[in-house]
Amino acid sequence: MIEVIKAELNILRCLNMKPNYSDLARRYGVSRQTISKYDKGFERKETRKRKSKLDKYREEIEEKINLAGATITGVYKYFY
């Protein structure tokens, strides 16, 4: 959806028209500030894919959660 908003802002910029942030915000269901931010050239940063500290225990946790009657709280207390 952000790409569509950026495209419309580019079209308006090419036509030398000032974008109506409030109208665009209503049309796309985002805040007016978000439209303004992307009009000023905001680009999202790529996030790093970090491993969780619990990844090495993933199989064991899944095994315990899949037991009949197991709850997340119960599995947590078991490992704690």
Tens digits of residue pLDDT in 24-56:
999 999 999 999 999 998 888 888 888 888 898
How confident is residue 12, by pLDDT bands cut at 50, 70 and 90? very high
Q: What pLDDT was estimated at residue 27?
A: 94
Parse the chain into domains and list their residue ranges. 1-40, 52-79
How far apart, in whole angstroms, are the C-alpha atoms of residue 57 and residue 80? 13
The pair of structure tokens assigned to 16 is 């030398």
Q: What pLDDT was estimated at residue 11?
A: 93
pTM of the predicted model as reported, rounded to 2 decimal places = 0.56
